[in-house]
Structure 1
Amino acid sequence: MPSHKINIVIVDDHPIVIEGLKIMLKNQPLFHISQTFNKGSEVLGFIKSNEVDILLLDITLPDISGIQLCEDIKKISPKTSVIMFSNRSERSIIMQCIQNGASGYLLKNVSMDELMACFKGALSGNIVFCSETKEIISKPSQQELGALPRLTKREKEILRFLAQGKTSSQIADELCLSPLTVDTHRKNLLQKFGAKNSVEIVNIALKHNIISE
């Protein structure tokens, strides 16, 4: 545990989550929320010039996947303990976050006691999980860790169009959807596959015969 007051940064696009955390930490004299951000891109510049002890990071952000952002943050500030804070409970996502340098993974229904214990554990150099996350990662998955995610029928349709090199607008026209809806499905596919871009998604899908060339 550092001897100074612990600086915490929160990255979450839901104001109610940020306000709830502020209330939870209000009476914790050792911890100070120094800044909050609604978009992932905003935090990168901040950590370049500010010392951050703990960064609570949501996975689903409007501009970038929190999984990728975690890796980017650790490259800039290796000493910062990045703790994922999400409603996503898939084992593969949890493990991908840890592989990308996260110091822990908490679900948003975590109790105050668990939150404090995880903060202290991360600051001591440990990888931390809330009790529910521990239960998720302790159960063997149906396949190995590299198991492929389950896709909805709509996601499979969009994946096939991505493999054809179609844009979101073109896919939207084909499926009679709005481009925004297609973009949402595309973001979900990025997260499910732990991929950085659509090309990587398609390559994984082709490799595992989810779609054919």
Structure 2
Amino acid sequence: MVKIMIADDQQLIRESLKIILDSDPSFEVVKVVGSGQEVLDSLKTESVDIILMDVRMPNMSGVDCTRIVKKEYPNIKVIILTTFDDDEYIYDALKYGASGYLLKGCSLEELSSAIHSVLSGGACFNPNVAGKVAQFFSQMANSNSEFSFEHEEDFDLSDTECKIIAQIGHGYSNKEIAQKLGFSEGTIRNYLSVILDKLDLRDRTQLAIWYLSRGNK
């Protein structure tokens, strides 16, 4: 059973999401809150697997809340679920560790798929957002930002590691990559740990962004 927290300052939206998600037997919405501070307060007593986080909430934005959640509870996944697809929100949410960015117009099927994908180690983006992610980080790759890199050979990546990076860049989970490449999931996890260390990245979301930023598709 996937334990979900919904954070949205509009009561109608958060209650509606709860009803919809609770209709799926694999989900349990254990908490609905209306602000980032309520998220942090609730996490002191509630155990959750994933948070659906709105961006604009009173006192503390969903982006700032994501930063604190990922620092204090790194195993909890965060999907930004909002009506806003502003570049700054997208960048900051991913920079602070969100595993996905969806717009509220997405279908239940899309949301359900995104939740399962993120919990399996993948990342998810609304189609309208995915293009901005690729474009934005492509620009960053050519700037003096933390995502700027020089030459592929500097990273000493093996052929297998490059294949795994490509699969992650296309959104595949560890299980799917293991099946495609003929390894166990544990082996893929070990490879991923080494790859992140070599590239000095925090998680697979940043790795996928790194892959896209280098002009790959």
1:96 and 2:92 aligned: yes
Asked whether the 8 Å contact 2:55–2:80 carries over to 1, the reply is yes
The residue aligned with 2:169 is: none
Aligned-residue Cα RMSD (Å) equals: 2.1
Identity %: 32
CA offsets, 1:27-48, max 9 Å, x none? Answer: 2000010001112111212213
**More displaced 10-residue stretch of structure 1: 129-138 or 84-93:** 129-138
The CA deviation at 1:57 is 0.7
Gaps of 5+ in 1: 147-213
**Partners of 2:39 and 2:89 in 1: CA distance:** 22
Which has more radius of gyration? Answer: 1
* Aligned mate of 1:53, from 32, 44, 49: 49
**Partners of 1:79 and 1:121 in 2: CA distance:** 15
SS at 2:43 equivalent: helix
Paired residues, what number? 142
SS at 1:49 equivalent: coil
Report the TM-score when normalising by structure 2: 0.60
Asked whether the 8 Å contact 2:70–2:76 carries over to 1, the reply is yes
1:105 and 2:104 aligned: no
The residue aligned with 2:116 is: 120
SS at 2:129 equivalent: helix
**More displaced 10-residue stretch of structure 1: 95-104 or 129-138:** 129-138
* Aligned mate of 1:132, from 116, 124, 128: 128
Asked whether the 8 Å contact 1:47–1:76 carries over to 2, the reply is no
* Aligned mate of 2:21, from 19, 25, 29: 25
The CA deviation at 1:91 is 2.4
**Partners of 2:37 and 2:12 in 1: CA distance:** 20
Give every structure 1 segment of 4 or more consecutive aligned residues whose post-TM-superposition deviation is greater than 3 Å: 138-146
Q: How has the CA–CA distance of structure 1 residues 77 and 144 changed in structure 2, closer, same or farther, with 3 Å as cutoff?
A: closer
2:5 maps to a residue whose letter is: V
SS at 1:138 equivalent: helix
**Partners of 1:140 and 1:96 in 2: CA distance:** 12
**Partners of 1:22 and 1:137 in 2: CA distance:** 28
SS at 1:79 equivalent: coil
Gaps of 5+ in 2: 144-217
* Aligned mate of 2:36, from 29, 35, 40: 40
Q: How has the CA–CA distance of structure 1 residues 72 and 28 changed in structure 2, closer, same or farther, with 3 Å as cutoff?
A: same
Asked whether the 8 Å contact 1:48–1:76 carries over to 2, the reply is no
Q: How has the CA–CA distance of structure 1 residues 42 and 87 changed in structure 2, closer, same or farther, with 3 Å as cutoff?
A: same
The CA deviation at 1:82 is 0.8
The residue aligned with 2:75 is: 79
The residue aligned with 1:9 is: 5
